[in-house]
């Protein structure tokens, strides 16, 4: 606490850029005050004061005197004193953090009322009922938030008063009823809080301020911050504001307004108004509001003024604003404004509308949207008009709309999907054994687990629709059925629909409509066409703004021609990672098995010979799909266990055969080999370049396939731009060996085909040692591609296959990290290694090409990091390409 620190700002002293210090509400009240808008005078206690209080348990020593000085000034401006008996100044004490935390923290209105000043207020307002209603509200709010009295007790007493009078709404209670209620409320406070309701107005104010400070750390506020990833150490500001009253009769009222429709982005009159009421009545939904447009007929002068203010605010903030206002006897007052929340679609529309209005430029427009919103717009949706039976609701874990036949185990999911059925995999919860089933399914539904459960994390990673934790569904995997509330039973094979954006679960088939944004990226809908909707126009324009500005190029992780073609339609500028092990799945798996288990050179060569033409054909197709653009082919990097038969299963087979005295020589041989190759930590085992160095002929076969495919494409007048990438390199010596061998093969293919080949050779940087010796490695590599999946795994020492299912949930809950480091790059750890490797690599080889191909390449936050450290490109799965393009543009704008 420094001696000259200022802890209190008058509304005339702040501005909208001081949100860190004054909170969002305080900063915007100051901004409106300085714009000359009608804001009731007041002052803001800073977040710094709150931080001192939360850290030390005591308010800063200087605070009391500073508050007194500002209160004096406020009293002078208003011409009355806080709680003055004949004509009291009343104030509200409201929380207001940097980031909006709606309803999470405390507010107390009508501070300054007491047994004496309530009479003064009644005389001044000429309205006894109003004064006593305000007093009972104060005791109620103060009791609940400052003195921790159970709010239900007040509600019950209020209900009882209405019942006794046989009325239903608060406004039908007369002054006499409210006086009685005040007595009861005071009694409740004395009994429950063990102290009387304070009659001293300054004591009321000080206690309320302290309560607001404390409300920063309630359980619900902490939970909200964890979910919204708001830091816990920001603290809240406190706004002390002179009261204006919307409950002074029919010429008073309170409302909320938006300068545009937050759902569609359209300009117009959006909001609600409630006559003769105070703010919390609107929020609490006690009485029905009327549409804001009706205010025009209720109070034309105030309505016109409000419209004018809304225009001023939009032009000033250059964005959609939401507003809280009060009308006191025909006088309009602004109580709050802020740049308002909006749907993803509205964000895109509003950004382009504001450009058209000349309010913002293209670079600013890019800051008004983000990749997460674009991703949201790319998921298919259920047709809202369809009539269907909703049977449950879980957590919206991974967006999208999925329809399929219910299956209750992964084996069935795989089997049915192979025969062309669409299935929804329903489990109580999933575990890594369900992976095949999850891949095969259209969507995943679980009855247990939250947003970070295995099902949720894995589904999000795969971009697969997932609803988890739908607890009212009883899943019985043994009997392959699920019982829904009401007792209806869903059997295996029954059709279900799940909505991963809302968490809703339906029986039967809900029709799905594709996202118009995806239709646009796929080239099936065109911007500028008659039937193109406004949203597509906006997305089209924003993508152009981003593409014009971005420095990062965007490539795709793709290993077949179909994905490559889609990636290209989505704007990919090449392939950054073709995982060749994906070309060895399915029926080719047995060749790989033969290769790995080969005892003799002849056996091995046979297997390689069988693989060569298959590989070559893969590459020909891929180079054709990406003609003219770079294609980085990574040589084989299979964690061995993924290609070998399961050791337990095989042991059982051998044992059975033995006991039945059946021939089993082959199985036994296989089992011995599997035992020989079995690894405790396959991810740290015989993978990547290591495999290439111990299995003779493997990498040369792949290099030959690449080179021959390139030669064939050149002969066909194509323009293949292949790059050969060596995985899991830890030291430059590994790379040198592979490089020599590869160059020899390429020379052979050139000689044989007579075609000149330019094949770049580079490496992945995915081990800490590679990053630390990047300067040496760059001697031998023309490009680096950061494999941030393995790099994260090895820097943290986290098994990428296991952690999400084991302790990450606990880590996220404890706030050790706000998001999995496998999802968003860990800037401080993994990121700093990337940064230093970039510098070391470029120092050795200034024209070294640099990219990233781990999952982080398509993650919005990480894309900004890769821009900052100066990579040339990011590579990500085809569906994330538009997101990466947008974020790369935002990073550069
Ligand atoms: C990586 O490790 O980041 C990478 C892209 O390789 P893979 O995920 O195939 O291990
Ligand atoms: Mg890797």
Same domain, 735 and 820: yes
pLDDT at 68: 97
Mean pLDDT of 741-763: 97
Write out the two tokens for 521. 């990226």
Q: What local confidence, expressed as pLDDT, does residue 385 receive?
A: 80
Domain hosting 442: range is 379-513
d(C-alpha 457, C-alpha 438), whole Å = 12
Atom of ligand 1 nearest to the CA of 787: 3
Residue 3 has pLDDT above 70, yes or no: no
Quote the ligand 1 centre to 818 CA distance (angstroms).
23
CA distance 265 to 261: 5
pLDDT at 240: 97
pLDDT at 803: 81
Cα 577 to averaged position of ligand 1 atoms, centre (Å) = 9
Question: Are residues 604 and 747 both part of a single domain?
Answer: yes
Say whether both 329 and 457 belong to one domain. no
pLDDT at 679 over 90: no
540-571 per-position pLDDT tens digit: 999 999 999 999 999 999 999 999 999 999 99
Index of the ligand 1 atom closest to the CA of residue 577: 5
- Per-residue CA distances from 126 to 88, 179, 656, 847 (Å): 14, 16, 97, 82
CA gap 97, 99 in Å, rounded: 5
**Residue ranges at the known binding site for Mg(2+):** 766, 790
- What are the pLDDT digits (tens) for 616-662? 999 999 999 999 999 999 999 987 777 777 888 889 989 999 999 98
Could you tell me the maximum CA-CA distance found in the chain, to the nearest angstrom? 107
DSSP 8-state symbol, 111: E
The verdict on the CB of residue 579 being under 6 Å from ligand 1 is yes
In a domain, 273, yes or no: yes
Residue 92 in domain: no
pLDDT of residue 755: 96
Q: Is the pLDDT of residue 314 over 60?
A: yes
DSSP 185-197: HHHHHHHHHSSPP
CATH number at residue 308: 3.30.470.20
Q: Say yes or no: CB of residue 790 within 6 Å of ligand 1.
A: yes
Q: Which long-range contacts (CB under 8 A, 24 or more apart) does 487-494 make?
A: 488/391, 490/391, 490/406, 491/406, 492/405, 492/406, 492/407, 492/408, 492/412, 493/405, 493/406, 493/407, 494/405, 494/406
Q: Average pLDDT of 399-418?
A: 93
Provide mean pLDDT across the span 318-344: 92
pLDDT, tens digit, 9 for 90 and up, residues 409-426: 999 999 999 999 999 999
Q: Which residues are catalytic?
A: 454, 853
Q: What is the mean pLDDT of residues 581-602?
A: 81
Going by the DSSP 8-state scheme, the letter that residue 827 receives in this structure is: I
Question: Is residue 460 one of the residues assigned to a domain?
Answer: yes
Same structural domain, 489 and 581: no
Nearest C-alpha neighbor of 405 from the set 485, 481, 461, 464 = 481
pLDDT at 531 over 60: no
Strand, coil or helix: 278: coil
Q: What is the bridge-based pairing of β-strands 42-45 and 8-10?
A: antiparallel
Position 870 in a domain: yes
Residue 883 CA: distances (Å) to CA of 354, 517, 539, 558, 847:
22, 12, 11, 16, 27
Helix axes 860-868, 881-892, angle to 10 degrees: 50
- Does any domain span residue 230? no
Last residue of a domain, one of 464, 494, 513: 513
> What distance in angstroms lies between residue 303's CA and the mean position of ligand 2's atoms?
62
Q: What is the CA radius of gyration of the chain?
A: 33
Among 312, 339, 366, residue at a domain's last position: 339
Query: Which residues are 107's β-sheet partners?
Result: 94
Whether the predicted pLDDT of 867 surpasses 90: yes
- Whole-number Å distance, alpha carbon 579 to ligand 1 midpoint, is 9
Q: What is the CATH number of the domain that holds 430?
A: 3.50.30.10
Question: Could you tell me the distance, in angstroms and rounded to a whole number, from the CA of residue 555 to the centre of ligand 1?
Answer: 15
Whether 765 and 823 map to the same domain: the answer is: yes
pLDDT at 773 over 90: yes
Using CA positions, which residue lies closest to atom 3 of ligand 1? Answer: 787
CA of 790, closest atom in ligand 1: 2
Phi, psi for residue 272 in degrees, rounded to 5: -135, 150
pLDDT for position 1 = 54
Whether 470 maps to a domain, the answer reads: yes
Percentage of the residues of the chain whose pLDDT score is greater than 70: 97
If one compares 269 and 11, the residue with the highest pLDDT of the two is 11
Residue nearest to atom 4 of ligand 1 (CA): 787
Residue 286: per-residue pLDDT: 56
Task: Decide which of 513, 541, 574 is a domain's last residue.
Answer: 513
Q: Which two tokens stand for residue 346?
A: 């509205």
For the segment 727-738, what is each residue's pLDDT rounded down to a tens digit? 999 999 999 999
d(CA 25, CA 32): 11
Pairing mode of beta strands 290-291, 267-275: antiparallel
Q: CB-based contacts of 530: which residues, under 8 Å, 6+ apart?
A: none
Taking alpha carbons only, the member of 480, 534, 489 closest to residue 507 is: 489
Lowest mean pLDDT among 160-164, 195-199, 456-460: 456-460
How many structural domains is the chain composed of? 3
Beta strand pairing call for 721-726 and 760-765: parallel
Q: Higher model confidence: residue 581 or residue 133?
A: 133
| Of 790, 792, 824, best ligand 1 pocket probe by most atoms within 8 Å of the beta carbon | 790
Whole-number pLDDT of residue 639: 72
| Shared-domain flag, residues 799 and 697 | yes
Protein residue with least CA distance to atom 1, ligand 1: 787
ipTM of this complex prediction, to 2 decimal places: 0.99
With pLDDT > 90 as the criterion, what percentage of the chain qualifies? 74
Residues 748 and 808 in one domain: yes
Same domain, 399 and 330: no
- Rounded to an integer, the average pLDDT of 168-187 is 92
Q: Are residues 802 and 752 in the same domain?
A: yes
Ligand closest to CA 634: 1
- Are 505 and 555 members of one domain? no
Is the pLDDT at 285 greater than 60? The verdict is no
pLDDT above 80 (res 572) = yes
Q: In this predicted model, what pLDDT tens digit does every residue of 433-443 receive, in sequence order?
A: 788 899 899 99
The phi-psi region of residue 51 (left if phi > 0; otherwise alpha if psi is between -120 and 50; otherwise beta) is alpha
pLDDT of residue 758: 95
Q: Which two tokens stand for residue 371?
A: 């990749």
Question: Does residue 578 have its Cβ closer than 6 Å to ligand 1?
Answer: no
The SS3 call for residue 433 is: helix
Q: How far is CA 107 from the centre of its chain?
A: 29
The yes-or-no verdict on residue 283 having pLDDT over 60 is no
3-class DSSP assignment, residue 522 = coil
Residue-wise pLDDT for 828-845, tens only, equals 999 999 999 999 999 999
227: pLDDT confidence band, cut at 50, 70 and 90?
low
CATH classification of the domain holding 833 = 3.20.20.60
Query: Ranked by mean pLDDT, which of 100-114, 128-142, 159-173, 280-294 comes out on top?
Result: 128-142
* Residue 582 and residue 449 in one domain: no
User: β-strand 495-499 against 401-407: which pairing, if any?
Assistant: antiparallel
Strands (E) across 484-548 are located at 489-491, 495-499, 504-507, 512-513
Q: What is the pLDDT of residue 613?
A: 94
Q: Is the pLDDT reported for residue 693 higher than 90?
A: yes
Mark whether 492 and 562 lie in a shared domain. Answer: no
Across residues 285-293, what is the average pLDDT? 76
| Model confidence, pTM | 0.81
**Termini Cα distance of the chain:** 38
Question: HSE of 420 in the Cβ direction (CA atoms, 13 Å)?
Answer: 0
- Residue 334: the pLDDT is 97
Q: What would the mean pLDDT of 37-62 be, rounded to a whole number?
A: 96
Does residue 286 form part of some domain? Answer: yes
Residue of higher predicted confidence among 380 and 864: 864
Q: Which residues have a Cβ under 8 Å from the Cβ of 252 and sit 6 or more positions away?
A: 245, 246, 275, 276, 326, 327, 328, 329
The Cα 294–Cα 143 span in angstroms is 36
Q: Which pLDDT value is given to residue 759?
A: 97
Domain for residue 139, yes or no? no
For ligand 1, atom 8, the nearest C-alpha belongs to 789
Instruction: Give residue-wise pLDDT tens across range 381-393.
Output: 888 788 888 999 9
Q: What integer is the mean pLDDT of 357-369?
A: 96
> Is any ligand 1 atom within 6 A of the Cβ of residue 862?
no
Strand 630-634 versus strand 575-579 pairing type: parallel
Q: Is 853 in the pocket of ligand 1 (CB under 6 A)?
A: yes
Task: Compute how many other C-beta atoms are within 10 angstroms of the C-beta atom of residue 857.
Answer: 32
């Amino acid at each position: 606490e420094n001696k000259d620190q200022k802890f209190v700002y008058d509304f005339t002293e702040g501005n909208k850029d001081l949100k860190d210090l004054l909170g969002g509400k305080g900063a915007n009240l100051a901004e409106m005050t300085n714009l000359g808008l009608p804001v009731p005078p007041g002052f803001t206690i800073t977040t710094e004061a709150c931080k001192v209080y939360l850290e030390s348990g005591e308010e800063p020593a200087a605070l009391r005197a500073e508050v007194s000085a500002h209160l004096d000034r406020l009293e002078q401006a208003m011409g009355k004193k806080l709680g003055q008996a004949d004509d009291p100044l009343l104030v509200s004490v409201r929380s207001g953090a940097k980031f909006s935390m709606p309803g999470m923290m405390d507010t107390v209105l009508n501070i300054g009322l007491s047994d004496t000043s309530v009479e003064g207020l009644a005389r001044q307002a000429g309205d006894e009922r109003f004064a006593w209603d305000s007093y009972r509200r104060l005791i109620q709010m103060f009791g609940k938030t400052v003195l921790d009295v159970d709010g239900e007790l007040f509600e019950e007493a209020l209900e009882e008063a209405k019942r006794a009078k046989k009325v239903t709404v608060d406004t039908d209670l007369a002054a006499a009823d409210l006086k009685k209620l005040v007595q009861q409320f005071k009694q409740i406070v004395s009994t429950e809080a063990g102290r009387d309701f304070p009659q001293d107005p300054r004591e009321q104010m000080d206690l309320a301020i302290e309560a607001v400070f404390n409300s920063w750390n309630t359980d619900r506020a902490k939970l909200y911050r964890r979910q919204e990833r708001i830091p816990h150490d920001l603290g809240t500001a406190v706004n002390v504001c002179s009261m204006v009253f919307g409950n002074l009769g029919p010429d008073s009222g309170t409302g909320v307004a938006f300068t545009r429709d937050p759902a569609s982005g359209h300009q117009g009159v959006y909001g609600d108004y409630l006559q003769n009421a105070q703010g919390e009545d609107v929020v609490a939904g006690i009485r029905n509001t009327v549409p804001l447009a009706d205010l025009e007929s209720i109070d034309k002068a105030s309505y016109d003024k409000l419209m004018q203010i809304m225009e001023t605010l939009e032009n000033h903030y250059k964005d959609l604003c939401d507003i809280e206002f009060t009308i006191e006897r025909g006088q309009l007052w602004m109580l709050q404004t802020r740049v308002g929340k909006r749907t993803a679609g509205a964000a895109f529309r509003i950004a382009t509308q504001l450009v058209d209005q000349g309010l913002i430029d293209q670079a600013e427009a890019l800051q008004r949207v983000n990749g997460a919103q674009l991703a949201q717009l790319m998921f298919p949706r259920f047709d809202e008009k369809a009539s269907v039976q909703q049977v449950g609701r879980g957590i919206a874990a991974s967006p999208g709309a999925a329809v399929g036949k219910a299956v209750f185990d992964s084996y069935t999911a795989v089997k049915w999907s192979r025969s062309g059925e669409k299935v929804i995999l329903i489990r109580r919860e999933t575990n890594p054994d369900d992976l095949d089933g999850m891949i095969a399914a259209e969507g995943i539904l679980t009855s247990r687990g939250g947003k970070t459960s295995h099902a949720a994390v894995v589904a999000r990673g795969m971009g697969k629709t997932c609803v988890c934790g739908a607890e009212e569904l009883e899943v019985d995997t043994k009997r392959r059925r699920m019982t829904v509330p009401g007792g209806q039973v869903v059997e295996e094979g029954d059709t279900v629909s799940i909505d991963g954006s809302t968490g809703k679960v339906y029986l039967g088939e809900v029709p799905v409509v594709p996202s118009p944004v995806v239709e646009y990226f796929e080239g099936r809908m065109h911007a500028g066409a008659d039937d193109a909707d406004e949203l597509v126009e906006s997305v089209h324009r924003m993508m152009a703004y981003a593409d014009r500005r971005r420095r990062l190029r965007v490539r795709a992780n793709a290993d077949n021609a179909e994905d490559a073609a889609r990636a290209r339609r989505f704007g990919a500028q090449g392939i950054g990672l073709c995982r060749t092990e994906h070309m060895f799945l399915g029926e080719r798996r047995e060749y790989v098995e033969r290769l790995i288990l080969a005892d003799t050179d002849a056996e091995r060569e046979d297997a390689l010979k069988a693989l060569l033409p298959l590989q070559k054909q893969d590459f020909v197709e891929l180079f054709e799909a990406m003609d003219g653009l770079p294609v980085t082919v990574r040589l084989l990097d299979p964690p061995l266990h993924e290609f070998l038969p399961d050791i337990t299963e095989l042991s059982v087979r051998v044992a059975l055969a033995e006991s039945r005295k059946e021939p089993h020589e082959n199985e036994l041989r296989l089992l011995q080999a599997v035992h020989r190759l079995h690894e405790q930590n396959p991810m740290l085992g015989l993978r990547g370049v290591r495999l290439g160095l111990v299995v003779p002929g493997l990498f040369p076969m792949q290099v030959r396939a690449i080179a021959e495919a390139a030669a064939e494409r050149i002969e066909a007048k194509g323009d293949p731009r292949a790059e050969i990438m060596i995985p899991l390199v830890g030291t430059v010596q590994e790379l040198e060996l592979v490089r020599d061998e590869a160059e020899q093969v390429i020379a052979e293919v050139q000689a044989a085909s007579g075609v000149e080949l330019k094949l770049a050779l580079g490496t992945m940087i995915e081990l800490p040692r590679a990053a630390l010796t990047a300067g040496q490695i760059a001697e031998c590599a023309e490009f680096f591609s950061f494999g941030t999946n393995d790099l994260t795994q090895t820097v943290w020492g986290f098994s990428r296959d296991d952690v999400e299912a084991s302790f990450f949930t606990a880590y996220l809950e404890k706030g050790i990290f706000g998001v999995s480091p496998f999802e968003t790059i860990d800037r401080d750890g993994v990121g700093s290694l990337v940064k230093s490797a970039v510098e070391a690599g470029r120092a050795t080889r200034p024209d070294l090409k640099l990219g990233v191909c781990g999952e982080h390449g398509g993650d919005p936050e990480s894309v900004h990091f890769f821009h900052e450290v100066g990579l040339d490109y990011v590579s990500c799965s085809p569906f994330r390409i538009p997101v990466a393009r947008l974020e790369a543009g935002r990073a550069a704008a």
